[in-house]
Structure 1
Amino acid sequence: MQHSTASAGLIAPQADFDFMFGRWSVLHRRLKSRLVDCQEWERFEGVSETRPILGGAGNLEDNHIHLPGGAYRAVALRSFDETSGLWSIWWLDGRAPHQLDTPVTGRFEDETGNFFADDFLEGRPIKVRFLWIRGAEPRWEQAFSADGGESWETNWTMTFSRLAG
């Protein structure tokens, strides 16, 4: 695991998401249906902006998502637990403003972050995985598993391109 102090030239865990600070153009790719062997993807654009909160132990990502059926707003809320060394990530969809999604929890190792949760899809239990890949054009992926994590279906990807200003 690559968690250490900034003085050693490595990223301190509470700074894991600092690479996302700023404004981004986002290219979304999403399966039209999940966990039904669907192969049809839809593409759409969005804009996001991420800023630190909680004195640097968290961050807020504000999203404007341009779905083919209409635009909406959503936020990702991330917080770092120094005791466990784990991040938790919640999603709040502006179309359901009273419902936070089940948080995924995990950490980065090198340039990749893996975050997991147990959840439900249409009444059946699933596992959820978020994958974050750092880089000049960061990438996020969401995958679901209906078999306890034996196999995963990636159903949503986001590729970020930094906007000026």
Structure 2
Amino acid sequence: MTADGGATGNDFDFLIGTWDVANRRRLDFLDAAGAWEEFPAVARASRHFDGAANIDEVEFPTKGWSGLTLRLYAPERREWSLYWADSRTGALFPPVVGRFTGGRGEFFGDDMHEGKEVRVRYVWSGISADSARWEQAFSVDGEAGWVSNWVMEFTRP
């Protein structure tokens, strides 16, 4: 992070290495009152382009699939673009874009979920050497309301 609190090409260096991940995910991503499921994962992240790129793979052993995130930093915009793919679909999802400010990263994008247009928000927070939190939320009403639908709590093994 820069002295003024802006994004840098090293914002995701905290993620490098191996993590145990406790997942909590809604069974229906758009139902704010819906039930949650919990399951474990292991994440492994690597640094590229002198910190301006980051890749992690998350294995969900009880689910039988894996996910991958590619993060790319654009220095001219001082923004990150985060791209998600998983082994279930083999598709690269549209990016969420944003930056870190004051130790919290917020990233927004547009996508489709079960035939509905959704606004997507990722938030990275609680970052330390041994822990971090990622949360995904969807909005179907132009960001007036959000449904938090997936939380990952990262801890070092």
TM-score of the aligned structures, taking structure 1 as reference length:
0.87
Alignment counterpart, residue 82 of structure 1, candidates 75, 78, 84: 75
Q: Deviations over 1:31-85 (max 9, x none)?
A: 0112134431100000001110123211101110134xx3211111001000000
Give the C-alpha shift of residue 119 in structure 1: 1.4
Whole-angstrom distance in 1 between the partners of 2:135 and 2:123: 5
In our comparison, the structure showing a higher alpha carbon Rg is 1
The residue identity in structure 2 corresponding to 1:31 is R
Question: Match for residue 34 of structure 1?
Answer: 29
Whole-angstrom distance in 2 between the partners of 1:37 and 1:18: 33
Alignment counterpart, residue 137 of structure 1, candidates 101, 119, 131: 131
Alignment counterpart, residue 156 of structure 2, candidates 136, 140, 162: 162
Question: 5 Å matches for 1:2-81?
Answer: 3-4=2-3, 13-67=8-62, 70-81=63-74
Q: Secondary structure at the match of 1:55?
A: helix
Whole-angstrom distance in 2 between the partners of 1:25 and 1:102: 26
Whole-angstrom distance in 1 between the partners of 2:108 and 2:32: 22
Question: Match for residue 114 of structure 2?
Answer: 122
Alignment counterpart, residue 142 of structure 2, candidates 139, 142, 148: 148
CA RMSD of aligned residues (A): 1.8
The residue identity in structure 2 corresponding to 1:21 is I
Which is bigger in relative contact order (C-alpha 8 A, separation at least 6)?
2
Q: Secondary structure at the match of 2:50?
A: helix
Query: Are the counterparts in 1 of residues 30 and 138 from structure 2 also a CA contact under 8 Å?
Result: yes
Query: Are the counterparts in 1 of residues 16 and 47 from structure 2 also a CA contact under 8 Å?
Result: yes
Q: After the TM superposition, list the runs of 4 or more consecutive aligned residues in structure 1 that deviate by more than 2 angstroms.
A: 2-5, 36-39
The residue identity in structure 2 corresponding to 1:74 is G
Q: Secondary structure at the match of 1:45?
A: strand
Q: Deviations over 1:103-127 (max 9, x none)?
A: 0000000111000001112222110
